[in-house]
Each structure stands twice: as C-alpha cells, then as structure tokens.
Structure 1
C-alpha cells in the first residue's frame, strides 16, 4: 500500500481537522507497553541482564518520563544506548553497551522507521546488527499483541470524539505500528469516528499532518492532540495548533478539552494566549535531563 498517497488523498469533509496521538493520549497504554513489552525484550536482545535495573531506569526515562516520551522505538533505542554509555553501572558490570552504527545510519536515512523498512534494509545488507534490531522489534510487537488488550480510552475521550463528530475530520497520528493501532481502536469500537489511522508506516508525525491536513485547512483550524513533545513538534512543523494531554494528568486534560478547549477551537479562540498557557503547563511536565546526571 502507498501509505503517503492514502493520507494525501484524504478528502476534506469538514472545516476543521484534528489529529490524535494514540498511546498515552487516547489509551492508557504507555506504561504497560514500555514496562512490560519494550523493556524486557530490549534487555534480552541487547544482553543487558547484568544491569537490568539500570537498563529499565534508562528506558523508562527515555520513553515515559522525559521530553523524548512517545518517540519512535528506534530513536528510543539510540537515545537509551547513549544514556547507558554515560552510566558507570554498565561498565562496572562488564557490559559493553553497543554503539549500533548501522542502526544510526539507517535512522538518518529512513523516514518511515518501522519493521517493513527495516526488513527491506536487512534483506539488502544482511547486517547482523540490523538483524538483531529487527528481531527485537518483532518480538516487541508479538508481546504487545499478547499482553495489551482490554484497555479502554481515557475517561473523556469518547465525549470529545462525539462532540467533534460532524464538525472536524479526524485521524490518528502515531508512531505505533498500524496493526496495533487498528486493533486497539476497533476493539474499543471508536474507529468509526476517524477518517484514517496513520502509524509508523506512514512516516513521521510531522509528515502525517503535512500529507493529511496542511494546505487543505486553515492553520488555525488544524489541531494536534498529544501527550509528548514529539506531538507538539509535529503541530509546530505544520503551523498547526496543539492541545496537550499532560502525562499524569490525563483525565484532567481530557475533561478540560471536552468542557472548554474543544469549543474554543471551533470558535477560533484557541490560538494565542489560551494555547500559550497550555504550553507552559505542558513544558513543566517532563524534564530533559535524567535525575542521575
């Protein structure tokens, strides 16, 4: 499937457009996925067992408790390995944290950072390093399929989807694989509110908004909703507005969105001071540097 063409060819049905991140924003799935699926398999495939406590601490900081929260899994590996190299606990336990130069080069070259692109790269290069990375990523998906189910949307999400229905075109903007996104939205019977679901196969979040919305809607009528700085970056990269779902305050954030912010968006009162106040709160929620530095 030509995923880019799918987004570019989305028809404009309403005056407004809303993009929703999924993990940690619509669904309370970030903790279980990162702690029970991503991290244990990372420790296994990267042979970090001797420093598992510290590997887990680093991984959770990168993916849950810092400004890199919500980034693509391969960017997360790169950031986590860099932080692990800085920690003496790995060296003193005899672990030579890999640098993964071929992964880093692939990340620089590839915009659709997902298993299909990685599989193609492995087939072309037969790289042992990338083969290991792919094995880890595939096992992550397998464990997520087995582990993550029965998780409903945050309270307030369905209220927002209902209120926006008939007023805005809506898509998912995520770096989660498309299969998992489709399964989670379908399982909860809320996929019918959407015009499309964009996952990592469709490119970056910035690209999702560019292909689906930029130039089709007025900038002050495009809103990205997310819980991570990467979501804000995607909005800013397309001159769009941003509403934050603040980590740890998700229910409060959705209540405010339903009761106040969504109406301001539709009345064109969101841009300016109101959004700036939201951004101040969001910026305080996640640190840049780890506490062990």
Structure 2
C-alpha cells in the first residue's frame, strides 16, 4: 500500500503507529535485535552492559522513546563517545542523520556511494542485520489488548492509516499475520518517509486538520502531529489496553463530535509526558 495510491473515503482520518503502540513488539526488537546487533557490529563487548542500558533508556523509557533506529544509533554513540568510547568516522553518520530526508537503508546506500564512509557502511550492515534478526524472532507477537476491537470500531467512522518508522516488510508481515490490514487504508513504514511527512501527505487528500488524529506511544508521534497541526492521542506505556479502550470509547467519539478540544488535548499530553519522565 503506497501514498500515491491513497484515496480518501471518510471525513475523518486516524493515523496509528505500530511498534509499542498497536503491536507488542517494541521491547523484544530492541533487546533481541537492535541492541545486540549494535554491540556485535562495532565490537563494543568491553562496555556492553553500560551501552545496552543507554540504548534501552533512549529507545524505550524516556522522551526519545520510538526514535528512528539511525537517530537512536547516533544518540547512543554521542553519549558513549563522551565517555571515551571511540566510534571511528562518527561524524559521517551524524551528518547523514541530520541532513537526509529519508532515514532508511536505501537512502543510506545512496550516501555510501557518494562518501565511501566506513561508519556508514557499518551502519548499513547493522541495519540489514537487524532486519534479518527481526525476521527470525518467534512469530508469537501479538497486538496489545483492545487493538483489534479498537481498529474495527474506528474503521467504521474514519479512514485508518498505519504511520510507522519501522521496516516496511516487518510491518506488512505483522499486520497481515494478525488479520488487521482489513481495517486499514494504507500501511506506511520508514520507506514512505518520516511520520511528519506521511501525515502531511495524507492531509493533502482533503482532510481538515481538526479531523485528523495521530495515535502513538512516543514523543516523536506527538511532534509529527504538532508539526502538521493535527490532534494527538497517546498509548501509554504499560497501560496499552486501557489506552486503546479509551481511544475507541472516548477520544474518537470526541473527534467525531468536535469536542476533542484544547483542554482535552492538553490533559492527554500531560498524562503522556508523566509516563516518560
């Protein structure tokens, strides 16, 4: 499913993140794939526990939760570099992450062709190995409680789009495996562009800003919503089932009835920020 094939059907649009928001896949992917592959690729075994804890904090438990994989890599390397752990040619990946319009393997390959950077080559190898590692995970992942009923109910009153920074193939596999694609208008992964970009492109289909809701579990989802002037609903860490029930039975009705006002939005954001201190 691609942006250029998208056609608006309903008056309202609900965008939904995947990992850690709809799918209970975030913890296992970081602990079994992203972090171990980073340690192996850069041979960081000597300070492994220290570096792993930094990765988990950045990617799971603080205000950078849900950050793109390459941004997470750069932020981790910046921190450990200050502690004397040298990452060769770090400036190359920092520059690419800060300037590229597309944080994906394909974009990284194009940059490698231009620069022949060793660090970029290692980052690409790491990312490819992460994807392979994710593919070998036991296929016992599940959507969070109330996700299926929530999507079913929301799809009756709004167009639903998955807007995620995860790898597209993994998304396609997970959402099809759990028979959730039938509720979607489009499934957008990292290859489609940033969340901010994707929401902006969907908005061009003719939705009013006050009729678009971004559902996510990370500050990046909130920022993507803010940048596009649309509403945000948080899925709270360790309260996912509760959050999805509230989304279906409180937040979406408020959206439809035009009572999702500034006070309600601020209340949701405050509760969200308090979970990620």
**Smaller-chain TM-score bracket:** over 0.9
Summarize deviations over 1:5-34 as a string: whole Å, max 9, x none. Answer: x42552110000010000000011110000
| Contact in 2 for aligned 1:8/1:211 (Cα 8 Å) | no
Q: Secondary structure at the match of 1:237?
A: helix
In the superposition, relative to structure 1, how do residues 99 and 123 fare at CA in structure 2: closer, same or farther (>3 Å)?
closer
Query: Are 2:2 and 1:12 equivalent residues in the alignment?
Result: no
Could you tell me how far apart the structure 2 residues matched to 1:132 and 1:261 are?
Answer: 43
In structure 1, what is the equivalent of residue 74 of structure 2? 78
Instruction: State which drifts further: 246-255 or 176-185.
Output: 246-255
- The answer to whether the aligner puts 1:36 opposite 2:32 as a matched pair is yes
Q: What is the CA–CA distance in structure 1 between the aligned matches of 2:5 and 2:99, rounded to whole Å?
A: 25
* Selected match of 2:163 from 167, 170, 173: 173
- Per the normalisation by structure 2, the TM-score is 0.95
Q: 1:40, 1:268 → 2: CA distance?
A: 46
The answer on whether the counterparts of 1:156 and 1:258 sit within 8 Å (CA) in structure 2 is no
Q: Which runs of 5+ in 1 are unaligned?
A: 288-293
Structure 2, unaligned stretches of length 5 or more?
none
Paired position in structure 1 for 2:65? 69
- Give 2:191's aligned residue: 201
Q: Distance in 1 between matches of 2:255 and 2:103?
A: 32
User: Using a 3 Å threshold, how does the CA distance of structure 1 residues 8 and 235 change in structure 2: closer, same or farther?
Assistant: farther
Q: Count matched residues.
A: 277
Distance in 1 between the 2:193 and 2:257 partners? Answer: 31
Deviations 1:164-199 (A, max 9, x none): 123211111111011111111001111111111111
SS of aligned partner of 1:172: strand
Given candidates 234, 237, 249, the residue that maps to 2:239 is 249
Residue 203 of structure 2: aligned partner = 213
Structure 1, residues 200-236: CA drift from partner, whole Å, max 9, x if none? 1111100010001246111110000000000000100
Task: Determine the C-alpha separation between the residues in 2 that align with 1:195 and 1:283.
Answer: 30
Cα deviation for residue 148 of structure 1 reads 5.0
Which residue is 1:290 aligned to?
Answer: none
TM-score (normalizing by structure 1): 0.90
Which structure 1 residue ranges, 4+ long, deviate > 4 Å from structure 2?
none
Give the secondary-structure state (helix, strand or coil) at the position aligned to 1:118: helix
